[in-house]
Amino acid sequence: MRKRIAFMALMIMSTALPAEETGDHPVVKLPRPNSGSFTHKQAEERRSEILSNSPTPMLASWKNPSHGFSLHFHKDDRMTIYGSSGLMVAILPANESLHNQSPKEVKKMADSIPRFGNPAGILITSDIPLKRSQNIHKILKGIFVPGIQIFYLRTGKDGVAVDPTDALESKAR
Give the pLDDT of residue 173.
31
Give the pLDDT of residue 17.
32
Give the pLDDT of residue 120.
95
Any domain includes 173: no
Cα(92)–Cα(23) distance, rounded to whole angstroms?
A: 27
* pLDDT over 90 percentage in the chain: 56
The count of other CB atoms within 10 Å of the CB of residue 157 is 7
The residues, any chain, with a CB within 8 Å of residue 25's CB and separated by 6 or more, are 54, 56, 153, 154, 155, 161
Give the pLDDT of residue 35.
87
Identify the bridge partners of residue 120 per DSSP, sorted by sequence position: 148
Question: What value does the mean pLDDT of the chain take?
Answer: 79
Any domain includes 43: yes
Give the pLDDT of residue 68.
94
Any domain includes 85: yes
For 129-136, what is the mean pLDDT?
94
Any domain includes 108: yes
Cα(101)–Cα(79) distance, rounded to whole angstroms?
A: 5
Give the pLDDT of residue 54.
86
For 64-86, what is the mean pLDDT?
94
Cα(154)–Cα(171) distance, rounded to whole angstroms?
A: 18
Give the pLDDT of residue 154.
78
Q: Is the pLDDT of residue 61 over 60?
A: yes
Any domain includes 48: yes
For the chain, how many structural domains are there in total? 1
Any domain includes 88: yes
Any domain includes 100: yes
The residues, any chain, with a CB within 8 Å of residue 58's CB and separated by 6 or more, are 70, 72, 80, 82, 83, 125
Cα dist from 76 to 83, 87, 107, 127, 130, whole Å: 21, 31, 20, 9, 12
Q: Are 100 and 78 in contact (CB under 8 A)?
A: yes
Give the residue numbers spanning the domain of 87.
Answer: 2-168
